[in-house]
Structure 1
Amino acid sequence: MESPVHSLNGLFAQLGLPNSDQKIADFIEQHKPVADNTKLAELEFFNPSQQAFLRESLAQDADWAEVIDTLDSLLRHEADIRPS
């Protein structure tokens, strides 16, 4: 059986955040860049429940881990993800 593939929109929904493409782009633009020495799950703009989900998903290498890594990368780099 194939593992489910999660999207960035799905991750934002899982975290209880607005998950339209525009809202995701706005969130990333608002919060980047994130310092390289700070773990994603420790960022103050995530609430404790969101932090726990991110931490546990990465620690267990859950099926969310790949898209969490994508979010981490988007928050650390200057690339613009706004829809054209």
Structure 2
Amino acid sequence: MEPPVHPLSALFDQLGLASESGEIESFIAAHRPLRADTKLAEAPFWNPSQKRFLQQAIADDADWAEVVDELDALLRH
């Protein structure tokens, strides 16, 4: 059985952020480019609970990991 794949909007909901398409685009535009030497979860714009969620999703290779990687890529370009 395949793990569920979450859309980017669901990740933003999970992080407590506005999740409409335009709001996601605005967030990415406001916070890019993320420095190459900065891990996504260590970026200065996350609050402690957002940081923990991102760290856990990546460490556990949870079903959120794919969309977290997508956000990481979007913030670096």
- 1:30-41 to structure 2, matched below 5 A, reads 30-41=30-41
Residue-pair matches, total: 77
Structure 1 residue ranges (4+ consecutive) displaced by more than 4 angstroms after TM superposition: none
Work out the CA distance in 1 between the residues paired with 2:64 and 2:2.
14
Q: Is there any run of 5+ residues in structure 1 with no aligned partner, and where?
A: 78-84
**What CA distance in whole angstroms lies between the structure 2 residues aligned with 1:14 and 1:59?**
17
Superimposed CA distance per residue, residues 7-44 of structure 1 (whole angstroms, 9 cap, x where no aligned partner): 00000000000000000000000000010000000011
Taking only aligned residues, the RMSD between alpha carbons, in angstroms, comes to 0.6
* CA–CA distance in structure 2, aligned partners of residues 2 and 43 of structure 1: 30
Question: Which structure has greater helix proportion?
Answer: 2
TM-score of the superposed pair, with normalisation by structure 2? 0.97
- The TM-score with structure 1 as length reference comes to 0.89
- 1:27 matched to 2:23? The reply is no
- Alignment partner, residue 57 of structure 2: 57
Distance 1:2 1:71 in 2: 21
Match of 2:71 in 1: 71
* Greater C-alpha Rg: 1
Identical-pair percentage: 57
**SS of match in other structure, 1:22:** helix
